[in-house]
Amino acid sequence: MIRLITFDLDETLWGGTEVVLRAENEMINWVSDKVPNFSEQYRIHAADIRAETLVKRPRIHYDFNKIRVAVVEHILQKCGLQPGEASEIASAALCIFHGFRNELQLNQDAVAILRELQEHYLLASISNGTSEVHRSPLKNFFELSVYARNMGTRKPDPAMFQVVLSHTKTLPQQAIHVGDHPIEDLEVAKRVGMYTIQYFTGQYAHSPHADKVVDQLADVVLAVQAINESAVKNQS
């Protein structure tokens, strides 16, 4: 019998890409008010500096916050700022970014399905992103929210899922993971031993590791019910 359902956040319960792009643009504009040539330098060099940062500091690959600060700080120094001032502005820029990053665009069905599922199952979220559940309208639905930046690793590391199973005292075969990414959500959850539901948005291919596929988030409830019925039969 199913007792736990875990959810991906970005591009599943809420939009991710558009929100991140807006937050980044607002951050760039804020820094550019202080350092006029920052915007041009950022758009030219950010991607290369990010890649270079990950090569030099591979241990921060899981933490988008640290990566973002490192990139902004590096570009500010290219703009002529001293390291101390660059560090101070980069840290403040991250706060600006997060202010807009947490203006979340919830999937229109998110609250309804979580409210219904919460009546029967434990709920948890597992995310590589930096948006924060506790600052969203979904904050009261989850038993636990696991973030890559706090774990020191990121999906598809099975540890992201195993910590939730351990915390909730749930066996893998008693849990379902819902997400959109074929590898970071579905393949790893299946490898851990969980059931899986793919929320198919068209951004990624259908996953061979999905037990159920839904095109609308509202259909997750029926998919969970079907998996639960199958799990009960397998136990009998």
Tens of pLDDT along 182-198? 999 999 999 999 999 99
Q: Which amino acid is at 13?
A: L
For residue 214, the model assigns a pLDDT of 98
What does the block give as tokens for 153?
Answer: 């690793």
Residue 4, SS3 per DSSP: strand
* Burial bucket for residue 230 (CB in 10 Å: 0-12, 13-18, 19+): middle
- Within the chain, residue ranges assigned H as helices are 17-34, 38-56, 64-78, 83-101, 110-118, 148-151, 159-167, 188-192, 220-235
Q: List residues bridging with 127 in a β-sheet.
A: 147
State the average pLDDT for the chain. Answer: 94
Over range 19-27, report the average pLDDT: 92
How far is CA 178 from each of CA 9, 27, 76, rounded to the nearest angstrom? 9, 31, 40
Q: Which domains does the chain have, with CATH numbers?
A: 4-15+106-235 (3.40.50.1000), 17-101 (1.20.120.1600)
- pLDDT tens digits, one per residue of 44-55: 999 999 999 999
Q: Which among 181, 159, 189 is positioned nearest to 11, based on CA atoms? A: 181
pLDDT band for position 77 (cuts 50, 70, 90): very high
pLDDT of residue 101: 85
Element (H, E) at 146: strand 144-147
Given a contact cutoff of 8 angstroms between Cβ atoms, the answer to whether 73 and 66 are in contact is: no
pLDDT at 236: 63
pLDDT digits (tens, 9 = 90+) for 205-221: 899 999 999 999 999 99
| Residues near 210 by beta carbon (within 8 Å), at least 6 away in sequence | 186, 196, 197, 198
Cβ(89)–Cβ(175) below 8 Å? no
- Nearby residues of 75 by Cβ (< 8 Å), 6 or more positions away: 38, 41, 42, 45, 46, 49
Give the pLDDT mean for 109-138: 93
Residues 6+ apart with CB under 8 A from 28: 38, 39, 42, 43
Taking residues 68-78, what's their average pLDDT? 96
